[in-house]
Structure 1
């Protein structure tokens, strides 16, 4: 009997066999009606039926299994992945002055430096009151402008005519070794120019003359100064005269930071103290005593000294570090050994702040962060799609989060998620993609691994 590879052909043949009796043999006369003949016929029919069933099973089962095994769905590849950790940057070595006392305030970077940065962010040497010398003139200017405000940097203000008594101040301060500027009796200048002569070369005779002019007497000026200090909460500051030649003019680093911010917020004072040199008809050429102007972003404010070991500076600086906005620094140094040591310490401190802001590499294109694997041995990598870095401050912790998505094709270049790194207010995100491709298994693997199919 011819068999077909199609199981349905075998079933049809079996049905046909059941409908037909086998061709009878010619019986002998003695066997025609015997039971033995009937039994032999029955056994032969059963044998043929069994043979037909076995043939059908032998053909149908392997063919059906092969068809199922070659088309059965496969389990999804297994993903194993881990987000790469990035160590924080090196902690900044903040270089605070080692001499005297200091304090610094930084605005524009609270997200990096903390919410207290715009107050007193860092300090050294304590906060006790110390002699402030010619920084006193900054307070004198603020008190005078509080009583006699100017409309802006282009407003010269009222004219001051200097008397004989004002002229005599030149000699008074000369014998005390204070800085002075020419002030002939009968000469005159605007309030703006008089303040500039007081602040830029730090002329003490102008500090007294202008403060007396504004209030009528030194007694009235000092009373106004005390009220101004109280109104601004500057309880650690004492002023007994307008120039700073007296060591009894004292203040704390914390108060001087506040005074520096008030001065920087006054456009007239801010413009004057940022001027490196000036020529005016009465006093002539003048140079700013703050030789740090223009160095490391320094924009002001005022020096003061009473000799060796008593050099002081209140300063402001503005510079870019790569943050969303420039840093605005206000600082103070009291009790420095010399002008050079004070300047050196300020530059070192500003440089250390600047160096604390940096970019840290977090991603390299092609870096392996995981893989997809299959029971039949086909694998593909999960890699970073591009290079990336993150901007941060000092050793701010870097937090990493990774999100993966089920691939659609498991083919090379398919984007399957992303990684995000966060440090302070900054974050950067890089796509994840497949490197390589997941290939289908060979037919033989399908036929020999039925337990891995259909899952």
Structure 2
């Protein structure tokens, strides 16, 4: 290593002084020769040799000797070395013999002690000429010529090859500190190589440092502020809290328009009526039925119907000569011959009424005589007036029945005084239903008695009119066959039910009355014992929410529909939940429709419908805001 530019001298060094030459001679006489070099080392240079390197940057004017053993090197390396002032006037070196048998740093018992000159700033190697490179010693003098000579000798020594310390048995010490250079950054101590120190002074491991103690000492006495009070923390936290509060307030107060409870209908099965189980009269044949529902009969065999034929005949007359309620219709005049014909009917054991000879009867009066007094002579007169003959009438009757879909009836004469006039009990019930739909006909047959010109008081032959609810129709008797066709109205709930019974071939009037009453009674009991088609409390729907259990919608009362003989009803529901949420609130209706009546039953909530919890609202924003399809 060369010295800095400002410390380099080009002058030829002066010859060494006599004192320095003597010192060098004494030293070299006792120290082993250094290979390839006859130079004498200053004290720092000797330390460098002990460290295993000939550092040209640490030149000095202090002479020394090469250590001969590792112990000598260690001792020499521990000597304090002070830089010598480049401009020092003199440097005195003394050498004393080492004690016998001691381990001297110079290996031959010699010790070197250099006096240190204060304020010496730096030591630089002195350039030397090749002619003095192998000189055994170098001495410094106070004059500039001596200084130049010493510098030259030092530079010559620096150019000499380093000794092989391993061959000398000397352990190589750690590299000494080096001067700062362009490649090694300077520090406040400019001669310290920071990179070298970093290599030889590693930082302790992180875990070996007492961080708590260090931190405590650093923060001792400091006024600390909590981290949460810093603006960098408060602002984001405040924004976050605001967002959370806004979200919570919005979801907790948002209306339930998008997730409002809905009502789902449930299929409702109505209860059918029990099959009719009728105990039929022991004699003859019979049938019983309910208008609009159906008829059951004991047989399908026809029987002689006698004067019940007049029901068909009267209806045919009213079709040809219609009457409104309160109208009398056309008048029919009678003569004495008609009065004599009345007597002929009576002798023939036919039912007949006298006529007003020289007078007249209106159509309405004529029909009253036919239906109440069963006057054959009155119906025959009307039939002749309209159809001209029994044959024509019979043909017209067949057509009339066929046009109305009534089968099972055969008509030969208008009065029924003919065994050819027959019908099944079920067919007669069908005729009765048709007849009672005509208000004029129904008015007449429901009358217990009437005063007619020529005939006087005429009583209704139907003894069933004495029973509550019986509204008429007709008796018929031929020989030993006592027949009766009766209509009765009964009330089931708020519904008026029209019952019809036909009993044929009974033994007498009491028998036909008793048989008729029995049939009506059985039907009435069945109607009164009919179970509700939809009982109270039946679940007909559910209120569905996205947040809670289903709430049942139930009927608040029994739905009583008039059914008979396995009849069924249909039920439909309609819902209007609105804002109703409490148990018992009406939220719809059930409409049950039967053949005779329709019943509407309120529907109510079985339990309270709770709103969504706060947690549900907070965790289901998409559903609340209608941003997703709600699956219930």
Matched, 1:321 2:488: no
Mark the CA change 1:228 to 1:359 in structure 2 (over 3 Å): closer, same or farther.
same
Name the CA distance, whole Å, in 2 between partners of 1:319 and 1:345.
15
Cα gap change, 1:132 to 1:50, in 2 (>3 Å) = farther
Structure number with higher relative contact order (C-alpha < 8 Å, ≥ 6 residues apart): 1
Equivalent in the alignment of 2:365 = 193
Partner of 1:20: none
Cα distance 1:440–1:125, how it changes in 2: closer, same or farther (>3 A)?
same
Following superposition, the deviation at residue 364 of structure 1 comes to 5.4
Going from structure 1 to structure 2, the CA distance change for 1:361 and 1:239 (only over 3 Å counts) comes to closer
Paired residues of 2:383 and 2:393 also in contact (CA < 8 A): no
SS at match of 1:293: helix
Q: Distance in 1 between matches of 2:462 and 2:555?
A: 48
SS at match of 2:561: strand
Higher strand share: 1
1:248-281 deviation per Cα after TM superposition (whole angstroms, max 9, x unaligned) = 2212335434433443344432321121211223
Q: Which residue of 1 aligns with 2:203?
A: 39
Q: What SS does the aligned partner of 1:292 have?
A: helix
- Residue 183 of structure 1: aligned partner: 355
Paired position in structure 2 for 1:447 = none
CA spacing shift, 1:362–1:97, aligned 2, 3 Å: closer
* 1:302-336 Cα deviation digits (max 9, x unpaired): 1112365x33233334454347x644455533334
Instruction: Please state if 1:202 is matched with 2:374.
Output: yes
Aligned to 1:229: 398
Q: How has the CA–CA distance of structure 1 residues 167 and 213 changed in structure 2, closer, same or farther, with 3 Å as cutoff?
A: farther
The Cα RMSD (Å) is: 5.6
Cα displacement (A) at 1:161: 0.9
Match of 2:412 among 231, 234, 240: 240
Q: Do 1:303 and 1:312's aligned partners in 2 also have CA atoms closer than 8 Å?
A: yes
In the alignment, the residues of structure 2 paired with residue 150 and residue 383 of structure 1 have an alpha-carbon distance, to the nearest angstrom, of 56
Report matched runs for 1:55-454 at 5 Å.
91-92=273-274, 94=276, 96=278, 98-99=280-281, 100-102=285-287, 104=289, 106-107=291-292, 117=293, 121-150=294-323, 153-174=326-347, 176=349, 178-183=350-355, 185-215=357-387, 220-233=389-402, 236-293=408-465, 295=467, 297-306=469-478, 310-322=481-493, 326-337=496-507, 338-352=511-525, 354-355=527-528, 359=532, 362-363=535-536, 382=551, 387-394=556-563, 396=568, 413=582, 423-424=592-593, 426=599, 428-432=601-605, 433-434=607-608
Partners of 2:589 and 2:603 within 8 A in 1 = yes
Quote the offset at 1:91 in angstroms.
3.8
| Mapped partners of 2:214, 2:475: distance in 1 | 117
Q: Structure 2: how far apart are the matches of 1:156 and 1:412? A: 65
Inter-CA distance 415–123: structure 2 relative to 1 (3 Å threshold): closer
Partners of 2:381 and 2:570 in 1: how far apart? 58
Q: Is the 8 A contact 2:316 2:397 kept in 1?
A: yes
Deviation digits for residues 334-392 of structure 1 (CA, Å, limit 9, x no counterpart)? 33452222331342254146425564674459xxx9999x9xxxx99957688333223
CA drift at 1:98: 0.8
Deviation at 1:437, TM superposition (A): 9.1
In structure 1, list runs of 5 or more residues that go unmatched. 1-32, 61-66, 75-81, 108-116, 442-455
How far 1:210 sits from its partner (Å)?
Answer: 4.1
Structure 1 CA distance, aligned partners of 2:425 and 2:477? 15
Higher mean alpha-carbon deviation, 260-269 vs 431-440, is at: 431-440
Q: 2:327 and 2:524 mapped to 1: Cα distance? A: 34
Pair 267,382 (structure 1): closer, same or farther in 2 beyond 3 Å:
closer
Unaligned runs of 5+ in 2: 1-195, 217-226, 228-232, 234-240, 242-246, 253-263, 616-632
Q: Deviations over 1:290-309 (max 9, x none)?
A: 2333745332211112365x
Instruction: Label 1:313 to 1:430 Cα distance change in 2 as closer, same or farther (>3 A).
Output: same
Q: State the Cα deviation string for residues 51-99 of structure 1 (Å, max 9, x = none).
A: 99xxx9xxx9xxxxxx9xxx9999xxxxxxx999999658445354613
Cα deviation for residue 195 of structure 1 reads: 1.9
Instruction: Determine if contact 2:307/2:477 at 8 Å carries over to the other structure.
Output: yes
Asked if structure 2 preserves the Cα contact closer than 8 Å seen for 1:170 and 1:205, the reply is no
Normalising by the residue count of structure 2, what TM-score does the alignment of the two structures yield? Answer: 0.46
SS state at 2:410 partner: coil
Q: Which residue of 2 aligns with 1:24?
A: none
Give 3-state SS (helix, strand or coil) of 1:339's partner: helix
The question of whether the paired residues in 2 share the 8 Å contact of 1:380 and 1:436 is answered with no
